[in-house]
Chain A
Amino acid sequence: MTSHSDIAGHGTVSGAADIAAALSGPVVLAAFDLFPHAMLVVDGAQRVRWINKRMEALCGIPRERAVGLPCAQVLRSGLCVHGCPAHAGTPSLRRETDLLSAARRKIPVAVTSLRLGDGEEADLRLVVVEDLGRVKDLEKSLSASSSLPGGRLLGRSREMERLLDVLPVIAQAEAPVLITGETGTGKDLVAEALHAGSARSRESFVRLNPSPMPEELLDSELFGHVKGAFPWAASDKVGRIQAAAGGTIYVAELADLPMPQQVGLLRLLDEKVIAPVGSQSSVRVDVRLMAATHRAPEELVRQGRLREDLLHRLAAVRVHLPPLRDRAGDVEFLLHHFLAAYAGMLKKSVTGFSPKALRILADYSWPGNVRELKNVVEYAVMVCQEARVLPAHLPMHVLEEAQRRRRRPRGQAAGEARHG
């Protein structure tokens, strides 16, 4: 009598054997030729038994010539020469290294070695070589633009450190993000940093500035249109949202987006679809939405300029950038940072600020925040002919505020700065 477990066991083994038999056929080897990765089969004597077309292209040796050659000569990876791991006895392993192609190029690769079969074929291994060149290039460009958690966002204050701590976590989430903060605080940089740190970073980051334009044009710009949707629509056009598919769409000023387009965004958030102008059907789009505003969003809702339901969906994650005047210690840090940057850029030997200039700048209210500070430093470095920036090198509006402050009682001036 056969027990249930016997049947089950037999069934599994028989199924596996069938699959193994099918996989050992020439069809699979032919299929390997279609793979985007280079592949080779090597035996226990470290000789090549088979390579696919991609490997042929990489090593510059036709398959019939490669068979029988030492695998180290064909693969030419960094692992081949010093302690080849492919024959370590483990069933499978993956290592990152590089290889030298027939075109004399060193290519970063990941080499995966899999033992084939359990019996006599146990000595055979399938080696899969993934080209990591594109990935490494992207990593390099990303790390260049965002070696800090917040990309090009700078700051040493407690407020900024708290923000820079949470940005990587927010970046990894898929939720929509609403970025608020006064003008010049770096809302665009936050959006860029969030995209760069997300799993979508290899796809597009599309920025949308809803500048005043006819409504139908804005609709077309955002959602695209089909041929004939407008008298001038001679062909189908993909909108900015579709252009960001797989990546991130960033609305730079939410308050500038008219109500009808806000409905479209709402549908995108709820159903992940958009409706191109003139189209009978909706288009599914996988995109992360980020939006920013320099106004208080609740105030915009009260004024009827922002849909409340859109605000609630967008504000799943809300990032607020503090104004520069509330970032204790950052003004001095940023002044020195931009001074060094502009001195290098403009080839000036300016090394610092005079104590008086520094006091004027530290007391200034910075209504334009970091953007304004950057411009002030650029101007000062440009006009400065000394080793240090003096008050005379500062822009007139900064000096005028300092004069007004001197003429008024200290408490009043501080109050003005807070509300300016």
Chain B
Amino acid sequence: MARTVLVPLLRNEVAPRFDLALEVLLARISDEGEEISRDIILLDHASADGLCDFVLKNDVAAVLVGGIEEEYYHYLRWKRVEVVDQVMGPVDAVLERFRAGRLAPGDILYGEEAWS
């Protein structure tokens, strides 16, 4: 069954903060790790509460983000949403690693020298 992944964006990179993101990417990923669809959604205002509601309403299975407050991290985990935080890098590189099942918290995917 396909899964929906949400990535808060800052331009074409993973946003450094969940609570300040004004743009999110919603990607549908198949069981085989293929990207089925991709949507970019603009939010009318930045809000961690609002984004949590958005995650739940859209049946998001995983959130890939830079920084997220403890309270929201545990709330999403309690709602059985996978949260991979402290992630940095261009959104394509991050999604690609996630689809390959290799993305871990703290991964930095900038430039040629990507750290993990």
Residues 30-83 of B contacting A (Cβ, < 8 Å): 46, 66-70, 73
In the complex, the answer to whether B20 meets A78 with C-beta atoms within 8 Å is: yes
Given contacts A76-B66, A104-B68, A105-B70, contact A60 B86 (CB under 8 A): yes
Task: Mark interface residues in A38-80 (1 if CB within 8 Å of B CB, else 0).
Answer: 0000000000000000000000110001001110110110101
**3 closest cross-chain pairs (CB), A and B:** A100-B67, A104-B70, A81-B20
CB distance from A106 to the nearest CB of B (A): 6
Range, interface on chain A: 20 to 34
Q: Which A residues touch B19, using CB under 8 A?
A: 100, 106
In the complex, the answer to whether A105 meets B69 with C-beta atoms within 8 Å is: yes
In the complex, the answer to whether A72 meets B69 with C-beta atoms within 8 Å is: no
CA distance A39 to B115 in the complex (A): 23
CA distance A60 to B69 in the complex (A): 14
- A interface vs B, CB < 8 Å? 60-61, 65, 68-70, 72-73, 75-76, 78, 80-82, 100, 102-106
Answer yes or no: B7 CB below 8 A from chain A CBs. no
CB distance from A397 to the nearest CB of B (A): 53
Residue of B nearest to A61 (CB): B108
Residue of A nearest to B110 (CB): A69
A sample of 17 cross-chain residue pairs with beta-carbon separation below 8 angstroms, ordered by A number, consists of A65-B115, A68-B113, A69-B88, A72-B10, A73-B16, A73-B88, A75-B16, A76-B17, A78-B20, A81-B15, A81-B20, A100-B16, A100-B17, A100-B19, A104-B67, A104-B68, A104-B69
CA distance A73 to B106 in the complex (A): 12
CB distance from B32 to the nearest CB of A (A): 31
CA distance A100 to B10 in the complex (A): 16
In the complex, the answer to whether A76 meets B16 with C-beta atoms within 8 Å is: yes
Q: Which A residues touch B88, using CB under 8 A?
A: 69-70, 73
CB distance from A66 to the nearest CB of B (A): 9
CB distance from B108 to the nearest CB of A (A): 6
Q: Which A residues touch B20, using CB under 8 A?
A: 78, 81-82
In the complex, the answer to whether B15 meets A102 with C-beta atoms within 8 Å is: no
In the complex, the answer to whether B111 meets A68 with C-beta atoms within 8 Å is: yes
Which of B67, B70, B106 interacts with A76 by CB under 8 Å? B67
Given contacts A68-B111, A81-B20, contact A73 B66 (CB under 8 A): yes
In the complex, the answer to whether B70 meets A81 with C-beta atoms within 8 Å is: no
CB distance from B14 to the nearest CB of A (A): 8
Q: Which B residues touch A82, using CB under 8 A?
A: 20
Residue of A nearest to B10 (CB): A81
Q: Which B residues touch A81, using CB under 8 A?
A: 10, 15-17, 20-21, 46
Residue of A nearest to B20 (CB): A81
CB distance from A98 to the nearest CB of B (A): 10
Q: Which A residues touch B110, using CB under 8 A?
A: 68-70
CB distance from A138 to the nearest CB of B (A): 22
Most chain A CB atoms below 10 A, which of B16, B70, B88: B16
